[in-house]
Amino acid sequence: MRRLLLVFSALGTLLLVFILLPLLHTLVSAFLDWEVLEETARSSAFWRIFGLTAYAAVLATLTAAALGTPLAYVLARKDFFGREFVEGIVDVPVVIPHMAAGIALLSVLSRQGIAGALGLQLTETFFATVAAMLFVSVPFYVDVALEGFRSVDVRLENVARSLGASGFEAFVKVTLPLAARHLLAGAVLCWARAVSEFAAIIAVAYYPMVISTYIWEVFLSEGYRAARSAVALVLILSLLVFVALRVLTKPSRGRR
Amino acid sequence: MERGEYFVILGPTGAGKTLLLELIAGFHTPDEGKIFIDGADATEIPPERRNVGFVYQDYALFPHLSVEENVQFGLKLRGMPRDEAEARSEELMELLGISRLAKRNPKTLSGGEQQKVALARALAMRPRILLLDEPLSALDMRTQNTLRTELKRLHRSLGMTTLHVTHNQTEALVLADRIAVLMQGSIVQVGTPHEIFRKPKNEAVAEFVGVENVLSGRVVENVGGVARVAVGGFELLAVTHVKSGNVKILIRPEDIVLSTTPSKSSARNCVAGRITAVTELGAVCRVELDCGLVALVTKQAAEELQLNAAKEVFATFKATAAHVLPSGNFF
């Protein structure tokens, strides 16, 4: 048994190295290339685009939560004909290539598509960016929320009802607090996925630029060194957000 | 059910007991039939407006709330002023002896304590009916005994109409004013504990409530409500209205007294037999005889009589202990 764990640990370490090596190498080399890094860090375009990206991802996440929470709850509580099919639909954005997702969105958002038929021009807008983010990241929220609701015993809701709570009150006072950690974790995953999206966004909106399209453009127009500096900054910011959320959502002692 | 009654539904696992309670509480809508509470049709009334207290087998306490928050859950929802809600929850926790646990998280409590919290939470709403779903089954033997006494005491002091479902005969026997036997989704017999345990309506009920002696026989004659019944190699007396024909005789094993010398009494039956097996079951021994009878005797009696296999003994039981089922009354 000990030998098995040793071998498995070695294999696991290999994977960790594979993840960390490119990230650390990029960071270190970017910092050694201080001038370029400083220039990127001082550029207002970088910060504006990063802020816009974070904001768009927040909107996508809020939309996912507003529409995905009820859906996840229904899927968790109601066993109806075709439920598994519906669950499958929710996961479709995960399994299709993101460029394909973007092109598919284009058929709805473009002037030649459904939006155009309604006289709307939605491509190359902030709305399209958020829509693309939502499309690719919503499964992450719904899946985790679903798991969260399934983990709440339906009998707790029953008891709440017998104590005078309406269906909605039971949901708000019992189910929601008990599934909160799942919902939050789902939202974090959803947000992170939205921030990192590239292909689906670039298909529907090259402008307004988000961080991934910005890095792509810098890479093409100014080369590897400039792109690397932007990547290093994004890495640090992502890490900060990640750590902050970890700390904020850490279960408090005693309770739960 | 009558108001203020402690009513037990007794049935084997899987008979539909929990579902029945959930229907009464309104968690499900019946496919057919109606539910009446206080004489009014409640079938379409949502659970939150039925005012029915529910206690689940595994308590279903809200894990994100403290003990007192659990107890006050319904009161706060109802908009009761805070001090009033606190007073009532304190009173109930006092009654159940769980005041010292008020600030604790339910997860840190023992099974028995959790069950008391669940009871306090349900009682806080002063429900019209208290529904108890196997409230003692998840507890160890000793806690079961204390909580059973507690339930009895609570019912006496509050007079709460209570519907308790269980598969445990002892619970039913000790607590119930009346018992309904539920088997395969339908109620087979309703009666006082005495009626259910001494006069089961058919063989299935008899077997379920622990009547181990089921003998086939034929009524030879009936004089003034006491029948002479031929059972295999012997005859016995039974108090019954059955005048003739094939019958089943049901005798509870604890109603049979074993002795080494025959006892003579007109109202008693005395059957000779040879012991085929003696099994110790804690404080009692189960003794099987070759005449087909099974008796439960105390361990002390078994030792005094030196009961062991192959010994000749006499089995004595009253004519009133032999319950007669006419043929055609079985499944």
A28 interface with B at CB cutoff 8 Å? no
Interface contact A161-B48, CB threshold 8 A = yes
> Are the CB atoms for A246 and A62 separated by under 8 Å?
no
Q: Tokens representing A108?
A: 């709805």
Supply the pLDDT for residue A133: 97
Residue B217 banded pLDDT, cuts 50, 70, 90: confident
> Residue B248: pLDDT above 90?
no
> Which residues in chain A are contacts of B23 at CB distance < 8 A?
none
Q: Is the pLDDT of residue B267 over 80?
A: no
pLDDT tens, position by position, B269-315: 888 888 888 888 888 888 988 888 888 888 888 888 888 888 888 88
pLDDT for the residue A254: 41
Nearest CA in chain A to B60: A156
> Is pLDDT above 60 for B330?
no
Say whether residue B53 is in contact with chain A using an 8 A CB cutoff: yes
Average pLDDT of the residues of chain B: 88
**B125–chain A Cβ distance below 8 A for any pair:** yes
Token couple for A178: 């008990």
ipTM of the complex: 0.81
Q: Which domains does chain A have, with CATH numbers?
A: 49-206 (1.10.3720.10)
Contacts of B125 in chain A (CB under 8 A): 163-164
**Spans in chain A with pLDDT lower than 50:** 253-256
Whether B231 contacts chain A with CB within 8 A? no
Calculate the CA dihedral of residues A91, A93, A97, A101 and round it to 10 degrees: 160
CB-closest option in A155, A165, A255 to B60: A155
- Return the number of other C-beta atoms located less than 10 Å from residue A23's C-beta: 13
Distance (Å, rounded) from C-alpha B275 to C-alpha A143? Answer: 66
**pLDDT at site A84:** 93
Give the tokens for residue B72: 């006050």
**Is some CB atom of chain B closer than 8 A to the CB atom of A251?**
no
pLDDT for the residue A256: 39
Q: In this predicted structure, what is the pLDDT of residue B310? A: 81
Tell me the chain B residues in contact with residue A164 when contact means C-beta distances shorter than 8 Å: 48-49, 51, 74, 77-78, 125
Measured distance CA(A132)–CA(B19) in Å, rounded = 46
The Cα B243–Cα B326 span in angstroms is: 10
- What's the confidence (pLDDT) of residue A29? 95
Our CA dihedral for B188, B194, B199, B204, rounded to 10 degrees, sits at 40
CB nearest B63 (choices: A161, A166, A178): A178
Smallest CA–CA separation between B10 and chain A, in Å? 22
* pLDDT value at B93 more than 50: yes
Give the Cα separation of B94 and A207 in Å (integer): 68
Contact B151, B105 (CB under 8 A): no
Distance CA A194, CA B126 (A): 51
| Gap between the Cα atoms of A208 and A52, Å rounded | 9
